[in-house]
Amino acid sequence: WILGGEFRRSKFLTSYNKQADNPCETVGLLGVAWAFGGMIFILVYSTAGISGGHINPAVTFGLLLIRKVSLIRAIAYMVAQCLGAICGVGIVKGILEDYYEDVGGGANTVSPLYSKGTALGAEIIGTFVLVYTVLSAT
């Protein structure tokens, strides 16, 4: 039950994320950000009672470090999260095959306006804020 919740959440989050990469002039970048944030909220809220609402392996690892999750459970969650993400990408490929191929499988790339170091820094800060928020709330 718990692993199924982790799997489904990762699958939906990944498939939703990859579909959000499609440019949409009427919604804009801020609209996509709000939609993605809303999806995270819904997924965490709906699975918090099952598995604690872990969002990704970084959150699970943080909870493992402060001993709120056992090593076995953390490994099981991370495996379920990764398998769910792979399944989500498979769903997107099945639904949007032409677009999937056009964007190289939906792999994220760094904008030419930013260096890879800047992108890495943004990822580190974003991950820190996410994990810090979860650890503060649990």
pLDDT tens-digit map of 38-89? 888 888 888 888 878 887 899 999 999 999 999 999 999 999 999 988 898 8
Residue 27 to residue 59: CA distance in whole angstroms: 29
What is the span of the domain harbouring residue 78? 2-137
pTM beyond 0.75 = no
Confidence (pLDDT) at 112: 86
Residue 26 to residue 24: CA distance in whole angstroms: 6
Confidence (pLDDT) at 66: 94
CATH number, domain of 47, equals: 1.20.1080.10
Residue 43 to residue 7: CA distance in whole angstroms: 11
As for how many domains the chain has, the answer is 1
Q: Which of 51, 54, 52, 50 is nearest to 13 (CA)?
A: 54
